[in-house]
């Protein structure tokens, strides 16, 4: 084999030391034979040889042989052996691991681990190639199906998105793959689970097709066959595949629920009691819990989640999960995950919440599971993740659970005197003042959930006093305010400040009690004014500011010195509006605010960085603007007054608007009318104009006709005169009239006046019997009149 | 929740003919006036009763747009019934029926029951395709025909149920191999041999709504 190495070196530019054939030459010759040899046996041998060389000379085989290998897949389908060589060779060159014996030219050394990906790119550039591999998957022969499956796995590993799209559009591509789940040969079935998982990842269309192709049915069959939660890694793979099908896909989730697959989860949760938990069971159960949580996730549409929650209850999953919480020997991680799962199973679902409430531990005496859980939450020996999970569970238990919220508050009231059993409320109340700041933070947040959307509870809580030997024990509120002032632990303060914010928001009575506490507001002002470098202290200051803002926005106007105006004045003077806003922004800019706002489940890298809570962030976002408005209102304009005066102003404006509206309508009508009139008269004018024009035309035409007649008449006259029939007088008249059209101004000239008069007075005296004779006697006006009569206009 | 049989349906036809509306009307008894373009495929289900037997209809509503054709074809193979829908107010959707039918016949199993639907029968004034034309097309290609309105719900119920009846009859006649799931038919849990402990009469309250 030494000559191969040296040969390759020559290809790569190292001086040639001998003239033995190089690896490249050999590969080239083999490729030539694969492509052009007419004998199948010959091609098969060449293919086998190529496969043998493909580790060592991966680049050569890949670069020169890819087309030839695809050609084999295309043309030599009938021969399983050569097909399997071709598939295996392709697999070897697209593999991402670097082979021990592989010859790596220096140029490509730095990204030689990407060679597999590059060749994959080249291979799938021709989409038909992927189709060919799919076809071979239909082949039952293990020597074909197996390398085809492995090759496809590799393609998907290297270029998931592209290969998914190609398979999606190749006819029945996805459907072919699902059939392999029924392969009796385990290695094929198991690997096809992995293949399908890769194929399905983040492709909603493929996920739906697989759901349509009964993937869930088949997976549950495999899981059952393999022994459910105590089955091997195949069970875990199947569950992960199922998870891939469901995650972020409301359609497949709906399908899963509608198809009643939820009830098929149950056997996976029915574990023998007091049993060992081998690692595989832990993994399997973990995967099951992920599936459940995907279906009831708080980020799903509310309707979808609640119908799945219902189905989980009906099918016994909720019960099985609660059993898991109180079972013995459940290791820490699955237990933590189980707590979070129960949390989401009950979140906002009243039936499930009451179910959880009633769950009791197995021990004697049996205790409420909620109490036990809270106990662990407040116990600093318990793992941090688990304590977080318990808080989440309790939050979800109270979420939209008016009854549960009131129960928690009720138990704290003085009326409920002798409570022998420890209850959740008392645990939390004690926890508030725990020495461990994380415990107090947990307790404060947990208790604040009993106050969300609970105006009645907020007021009732004001009556709670702390048990002590003191004949005049402090109220819960007083105690909280004073402990905020005396502690130097930021996490403690933050928890309590969030609690106060929740308590005071929309509750003037609570604000009133607070304002009456000595040194309450002054401390907060000092706190807000502190300059801090530490982020965590910025949050403390920001929250103190926020609490003051709430006192302003929900001010009861009953506490002297701290009425709205005075408080506003105090803030403006002692803190300044700008600084006040900056302090608030410090909170919403903080990284823990962003993290907490994302998801209801409390999370943090470590116990110290658990600072803000999801619901609190929601409240903060909601009230921020309101507080700024309250602060920026002009003095003397309290919200109440302002509201009234605003309302009055609005009413006045409304009346004015109404008046204006009527007026406008009238005006509009009037304008329309005027427009119509204007239009009409314009029409008239136009009509008149055309009329006039027509008349002028007529006039000219008539004048012309008149002239013609006149000329004619004249010639008759001459004729008559020649024959001596016409007398002088008419002749004279004739002369006159001939000029008449041009010389009308002269018409009234002295010489002719008598004549004219005479003619006018006694037209009949000049009697020739011919009207034509009269006409010329008329002046222009009269003539026009006549013409008009003629025309009947 | 329990059922004697489960039938898989697909709904196919040009975009905008009202496929999603028909499904919504059938599962939720609602009408959606705006065109909510289906992307890929959507899913719905309802329990009906044929011959006193509870039958679960699992319905896959496909996108009519050409761009999704290659995806939606994946659904033909495993379906027992298909609703082929056109819009009586748009002749082009009627003209495309032949293409749809060829596509369906090519990719589905040969026993798939196809119901031809002329939808939007409430828009009589805008009608472009006569009822007789639909009937003739159905007769020629051996389909069942019906005009529906997803808006008024007229005949919607019947369209889905008659298809189920047809499939059910084919099962009774032994035409369908009900043990082959690729035919789009599944036998209900307590009807299959073996793993059921509570035969029939399952009186567990069934979650909500449609099934
Ligand atoms: N008047 C009337 N309008 C309908 C009827 N059915 C559907 N429409 C309307 O037709 C439009 C399209 O309906 P869709 O059901 O979304 O159409 P589609 O066939 O699912 O379309 P794609 O999802 O793109 O394939 C919508 O605006 C519906 O309101 C009907 O029976 N009568
Ligand atoms: Mg649609």
What are residue B206's phi and psi, to 5 degrees? -95, 110
CB-based burial of residue A553 (10 Å sphere; 0-12 exposed, 13-18 middle, 19+ buried)?
A: buried
Alpha helices by DSSP H, A535-638: 535-553, 564-574, 577-589, 591-598, 614-632
Ligand 2 center to residue B40 CA distance, Å? 9
Q: What pLDDT is attached to residue A409?
A: 93
pLDDT at A701 over 80: no
- Model's pTM, two decimal places? 0.77
Cβ-nearest to A251 among B42, B78, B206:
B42
Torsion sign (Cα): A20, A23, A26, A32: negative
For chain A, give the mean pLDDT: 83
Question: A21-171 with A181-358: one CATH topology?
Answer: yes
Band of the pLDDT at A762, cuts 50, 70, 90? very low
pLDDT at A751 over 70: no
Chain B residues interacting with chain A (CB cutoff of 8 angstroms): 1, 8, 40-43, 45, 58, 60, 70-71, 73-75, 77-78, 107, 181, 186, 189, 204-209, 211
Please tell me the distance in Å from A200's CA to the nearest CA on chain B.
14
* Mean per-residue pLDDT, A689-717: 77
Band of the pLDDT at A782, cuts 50, 70, 90? low
* B5-187 CATH, one of 3.30.420.10, 3.40.50.2020, 1.10.10.10, 3.40.50.300: 3.40.50.300
Selected residue of B68, B74, B188, B196 to mutate for chain A interface (largest A Cβ count, 10 A): B74
User: Under 8 Å CB-to-CB from A308, ≥6 apart: which residues?
Assistant: A253, A257, A262, A295, A296, A300
Q: What pLDDT is attached to residue A519?
A: 83
Q: What pLDDT is attached to residue A641?
A: 56
Q: What percent of chain A has pLDDT over 90?
A: 49
**Contact A726/A720 with Cβ under 8 angstroms?**
yes
Q: What pLDDT is attached to residue A21?
A: 67
CA-closest candidate to residue A437, choices A536, A585, A524, A505 = A536
Query: Nearest chain B Cα to A304, which residue?
Result: B208
Ranges A346-355, A403-412, A499-508, A532-541: which has the least confidence: A532-541
Band of the pLDDT at A780, cuts 50, 70, 90? low
Band of the pLDDT at A672, cuts 50, 70, 90? confident
Name the residue of B21, B84, B90 to mutate for ligand 1: max ligand atoms within 8 A of Cβ. Answer: B21
* Mean per-residue pLDDT, B76-90: 95
* Mean per-residue pLDDT, A65-69: 88
**Closest listed ligand to the CA of B13:** 1
Ligand 2 center to residue B146 CA distance, Å? 19
Q: What pLDDT is attached to residue B21?
A: 96
Name the residue of B16, B24, B69, B82 to mutate for ligand 1: max ligand atoms within 8 A of Cβ. Answer: B16
Q: What pLDDT is attached to residue B175?
A: 85
* A21-171 CATH, one of 3.30.360.10, 3.90.650.10, 1.25.10.10, 3.30.230.10: 1.25.10.10
User: Under 8 Å CB-to-CB from A376, ≥6 apart: which residues?
Assistant: A382, A386, A387, A390
Residue found under tokens 């699955």? A334
Q: What pLDDT is attached to residue B24?
A: 95
Q: What pLDDT is attached to residue A644?
A: 62
C-alpha pair distances (Å), B103 with each of A772, B38, B106, B109: 98, 19, 5, 12
pLDDT at A101 over 80: no
For chain B, give the mean pLDDT: 87
* Mean per-residue pLDDT, A255-275: 90
Residue spans per domain, chain A: 21-171, 181-358, 409-638, 644-682
Note whether A168 contacts B: Cβ–Cβ < 8 A.
yes
Note whether A254 contacts B: Cβ–Cβ < 8 A.
yes
Ligand 1 center to residue B34 CA distance, Å? 7
Ligand 2 center to residue A162 CA distance, Å? 27
Helix (H) or strand (E) holding B11: strand B5-12
Residue spans per domain, chain B: 5-187
* Mean per-residue pLDDT, A92-117: 72
pLDDT at A348 over 60: yes
What are residue B7's phi and psi, to 5 degrees? -110, 135
Q: What percent of chain A has pLDDT over 70?
A: 84
What does the block give as tokens for A208? Answer: 């739906």
pLDDT at A426 over 50: yes
Cβ-nearest to B40 among A174, A208, A259:
A208
CA-closest candidate to residue B8, choices B52, B30, B41 = B41
pLDDT at A8 over 80: no
Band of the pLDDT at A758, cuts 50, 70, 90? very low
Rounded to 10°, the helix A437-448/A424-432 angle is 130
Q: What pLDDT is attached to residue A429?
A: 92
Helix (H) or strand (E) holding A352: helix A350-358
Q: Whose CA is nearest to atom 12 of ligand 1?
A: B16
Q: Whose CA is nearest to atom 10 of ligand 1?
A: B18
Band of the pLDDT at A761, cuts 50, 70, 90? very low
Q: What pLDDT is attached to residue A416?
A: 53
Q: What pLDDT is attached to residue A113?
A: 67
pLDDT at A785 over 70: no
Residue with more model confidence, B22 or A27 = B22
* Mean per-residue pLDDT, A486-515: 95
Whether domain A181-358 has CATH 1.20.120.550: no
- Look at B45 and A258 and tell me if their CB atoms are within 8 Å: yes
Name the residue of B27, B90, B148, B150 to mutate for ligand 1: max ligand atoms within 8 A of Cβ. Answer: B150
pLDDT digits 0-9 by tens, A706-744 = 887 877 787 777 777 766 665 545 444 444 454 444 444
Cβ-nearest to B74 among A174, A214, A314:
A174
What does the block give as tokens for A425? Answer: 């409320």
Residue with more model confidence, A495 or A107 = A495
Q: What pLDDT is attached to residue A763?
A: 42
Count CB-CB contacts under 10 A for residue A291.
21
Residues within 5 A (CB) of ion ligand 2: B 19-20, 38
| Longest alpha-carbon distance in chain A | 164
* Mean per-residue pLDDT, A444-452: 96
Band of the pLDDT at A59, cuts 50, 70, 90? confident
pLDDT at B131 over 90: yes
pLDDT digits 0-9 by tens, A374-407 = 999 999 999 999 999 999 999 999 999 999 999 9
Q: What pLDDT is attached to residue A706?
A: 81
Q: Whose CA is nearest to atom 16 of ligand 1?
A: B35
Distance CA A257, CA A180 (A): 25
pLDDT digits 0-9 by tens, B29-73 = 999 888 888 988 999 999 999 989 999 999 999 999 988 888 888
**Contact A249/A204 with Cβ under 8 angstroms?**
yes
Band of the pLDDT at B209, cuts 50, 70, 90? very low
Band of the pLDDT at B196, cuts 50, 70, 90? very low
pLDDT digits 0-9 by tens, A607-635 = 999 999 999 999 999 999 889 888 887 65
pLDDT digits 0-9 by tens, A531-580 = 777 888 899 999 999 999 999 999 998 988 899 889 999 999 988 899 99
Q: Whose CA is nearest to atom 15 of ligand 1?
A: B18
Whether domain A409-638 has CATH 3.40.50.2000: no
Q: What pLDDT is attached to residue B178?
A: 78
Q: Which residues of A touch B67 (CB under 8 A)?
A: none
Cβ-nearest to A214 among B45, B70, B181:
B181
Ranges A19-28, A73-82, A278-287, A718-727: which has the least confidence: A718-727
C-alpha pair distances (Å), A751 with each of A3, A498, A732, B36: 149, 124, 12, 102
pLDDT at A652 over 90: no
pLDDT digits 0-9 by tens, A269-321 = 998 876 789 999 999 999 999 999 999 999 999 999 999 999 999 999 999 99
**Closest listed ligand to the CA of B86:** 1
Distance CA A695, CA A310 (A): 94
Bridge-based pairing of strands B41-50 and B53-62 is: antiparallel
Ranges A95-104, A456-465, A553-562, B166-175: which has the least confidence: A95-104
Cβ-nearest to A307 among B43, B78, B207:
B207
Residue with more model confidence, B18 or B181 = B18
Band of the pLDDT at A10, cuts 50, 70, 90? very low
Q: What pLDDT is attached to residue A417?
A: 57
Residue by residue, DSSP assigns B45-81 as: EEEEEETTEEEEEEEEEE--SGGGHHHHGGGTTT-SE
């Amino acid at each position: 084999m030494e000559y191969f190495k040296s040969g390759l070196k020559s290809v790569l530019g190292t001086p040639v030391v001998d003239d033995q054939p190089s690896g490249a030459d050999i590969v080239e010759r083999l490729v030539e034979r694969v492509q052009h040899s007419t004998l199948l046996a010959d091609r098969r041998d060449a293919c086998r040889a190529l496969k043998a060389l493909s580790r060592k000379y991966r680049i050569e085989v890949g670069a020169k042989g890819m087309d030839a290998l695809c050609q084999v897949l295309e043309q030599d389908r009938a021969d399983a052996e050569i097909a399997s060589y071709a598939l295996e060779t392709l697999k070897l060159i697209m593999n991402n691991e670097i082979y021990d014996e592989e010859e790596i030219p220096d140029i490509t050394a730095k990204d030689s681990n990407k060679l597999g990906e590059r060749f994959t790119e080249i291979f799938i550039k021709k989409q038909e190639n992927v189709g060919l591999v799919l076809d071979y998957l239909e082949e039952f022969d293990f020597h074909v199906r197996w390398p085809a499956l492995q090759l496809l796995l590799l393609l998907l590993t290297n270029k998931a998105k592209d290969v998914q799209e190609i398979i999606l559009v190749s006819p029945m591509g996805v459907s072919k793959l699902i059939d392999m789940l029924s392969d009796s040969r385990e290695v094929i079935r198991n690997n096809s689970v992995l293949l399908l998982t890769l194929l399905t990842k983040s492709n909603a269309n493929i996920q739906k097709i697989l759901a349509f192709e009964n993937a869930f049915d088949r997976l549950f069959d495999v899981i059952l066959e393999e022994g459910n939660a105590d089955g091997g890694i195949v069970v875990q793979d199947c569950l992960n595949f199922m998870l891939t099908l469901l995650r972020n896909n409301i359609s497949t989730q709906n399908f899963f629920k509608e198809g009643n697959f939820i009830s098929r989860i149950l056997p996976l949760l029915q574990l023998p009691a007091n049993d060992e938990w081998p690692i595989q069971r832990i993994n399997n159960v973990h995967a099951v819990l992920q599936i459940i949580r995907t279906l009831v996730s708080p980020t799903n549409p509310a309707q979808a989640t609640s119908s799945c929650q219902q189905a989980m209850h009906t099918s016994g999953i909720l019960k099985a999960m609660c059993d898991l919480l109180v079972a013995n020997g459940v290791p820490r991680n699955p237990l933590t995950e189980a707590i979070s799962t129960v949390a989401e199973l009950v979140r906002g679902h009243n039936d499930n919440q009451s179910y959880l409430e009633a769950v009791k531990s197995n021990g004697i005496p049996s205790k409420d599971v909620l109490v036990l859980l809270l106990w662990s939450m407040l116990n600093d020996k318990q793992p941090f993740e688990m304590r977080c999970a318990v808080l989440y569970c309790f939050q979800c238990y109270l979420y939209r659970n008016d009854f549960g919220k009131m129960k928690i508050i009720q138990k704290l009231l003085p009326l409920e005197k002798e409570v022998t059993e420890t209850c959740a409320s008392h645990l939390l109340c004690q926890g508030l003042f725990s020495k461990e700041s994380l415990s107090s933070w947990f307790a404060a947040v947990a208790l604040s959930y009993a106050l969300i959307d609970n105006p009645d509870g907020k007021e009732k809580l004001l009556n709670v006093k702390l048990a002590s030997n003191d004949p005049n024990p402090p109220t819960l509120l007083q105690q909280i305010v004073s402990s905020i002032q005396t502690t130097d632990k930021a996490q403690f303060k933050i928890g309590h400040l969030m609690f106060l914010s929740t308590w005071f928001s929309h509750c003037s009575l609570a604000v009133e009690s607070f304002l009456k506490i000595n040194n309450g507001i002054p401390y907060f002002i000092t706190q807000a004014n502190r300059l801090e470098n530490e982020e965590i202290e910025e949050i403390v200051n920001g929250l103190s500011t926020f609490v003051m803002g709430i006192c302003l926005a929900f001010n009861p106007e009953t506490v002297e010195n701290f009425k709205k105006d005075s408080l506003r004045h105090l803030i403006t003077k002692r803190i300044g509006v700008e600084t006040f806003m900056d302090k608030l922004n410090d909170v919403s800019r903080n990284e823990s605010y962003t993290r907490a706002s994302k998801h209801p489940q409390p999370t943090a890298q470590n116990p110290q960085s658990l600072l803000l809570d999801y619901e609190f962030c929601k409240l903060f976002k909601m009230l921020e603007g309101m507080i700024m408005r309250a602060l920026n209102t002009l003095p003397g304009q309290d919200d109440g007054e302002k509201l009234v005066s605003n309302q009055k102003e609005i009413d006045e404006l409304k009346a004015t608007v109404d008046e204006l509206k009527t007026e406008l309508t009238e005006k509009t009508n009037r304008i329309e009318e005027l427009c119509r009139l204007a239009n009409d008269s314009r029409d008239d004018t136009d009509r008149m104009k055309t009329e006039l024009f027509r008349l002028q035309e007529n006039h000219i035409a008539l004048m012309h006709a008149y002239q013609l007649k006149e000329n004619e008449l004249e010639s008759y006259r001459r004729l008559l005169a020649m024959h001596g029939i016409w007398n002088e007088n008419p002749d004279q008249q004739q002369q006159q009239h001939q000029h008449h059209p041009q010389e009308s101004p002269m018409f009234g000239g002295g010489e002719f006046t008598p004549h004219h008069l005479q003619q006018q007075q006694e037209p009949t005296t000049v009697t020739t019997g011919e009207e034509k004779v009269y006409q010329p006697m008329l002046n222009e006006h009269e003539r026009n009149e006549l013409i008009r009569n003629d025309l009947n206009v | 929740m329990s059922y004697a049989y489960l039938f898989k349906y697909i709904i196919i036809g040009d975009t905008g003919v009202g496929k999603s509306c028909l499904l919504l009307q059938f599962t939720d008894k609602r009408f959606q006036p705006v065109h909510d373009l289906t992307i890929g495929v959507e899913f719905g289900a309802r329990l009906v009763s044929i011959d006193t037997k509870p039958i679960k209809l699992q319905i896959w509503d496909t996108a009519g747009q050409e761009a999704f054709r290659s995806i939606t074809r994946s659904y033909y193979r495993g379906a027992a019934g298909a609703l082929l829908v056109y819009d009586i107010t748009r002749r082009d959707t009627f003209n495309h029926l032949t293409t749809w039918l060829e596509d369906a016949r090519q990719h589905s199993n040969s026993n798939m029951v196809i119901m031809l639907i002329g939808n939007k029968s409430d828009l009589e004034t805008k009608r472009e395709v006569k009822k007789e034309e639909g009937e003739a097309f159905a007769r020629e290609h051996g389909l069942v025909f019906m005009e529906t309105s997803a808006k008024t719900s007229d005949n919607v119920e019947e369209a889905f149920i008659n298809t189920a009846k047809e499939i059910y009859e084919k099962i009774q006649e032994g035409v369908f191999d009900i043990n082959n799931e690729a035919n789009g038919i599944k036998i209900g849990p307590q009807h299959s041999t073996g793993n059921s402990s509570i035969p029939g009469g399952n009186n567990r309250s069934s979650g909500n709504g449609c099934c």
